[in-house]
Amino acid sequence: MHPAKNGGITKGRPIKLDQNTIFYCFIVADIVGKLDEWTFSWQRTADGRGRIYLPRDGFRGSIELIGWDSLLSDARGRNQAFFDRAGISGKSFFSPE
C-alpha cells in the first residue's frame, strides 16, 4: 500500500482517511510468551480471554487481541447446530482437540 497525496491509500479501491476515521484492529494469535508480556497491561475483554488496547493522542479506534483457541471455540459454539444437522463433527484441523 502506498500513501496517496490526498490522504488516502492507493492499492485497490481508494480509501478516504481523515481525522474522523475510526480504525479497528483484530489480532488473532496464541497469547503466550512475549505477546503475553507485551499486552499484560491491556484491558481484558468481557469474557476475560482476550485483551483490548485503546490508543490515545488522537487515534480513534481500538486494537483487540483474540486468542486462537478462543476464536475456534466460539465459532464452534455458534455453529454447532449446523454441524449437528449436517452430520459433521465441526472439529478443525487447526485445533488440538
pLDDT at 16: 79
Inter-residue contact 69 to 28 (CB < 8 Å)? no
d(CA 48, CA 31): 12
Per DSSP, the residues of 71-89 read HHHHHHHHHHHHHHHHT--
Q: Please write the tens of the pLDDT for every residue from 70-79.
A: 998 888 888 8
Report the length, in residues, of the chain: 97
Q: What is the pLDDT of residues 86-96, one digit of tens each?
A: 888 766 666 55
Mean pLDDT (the chain) is: 83
Does the predicted model carry a pTM greater than 0.75?
no
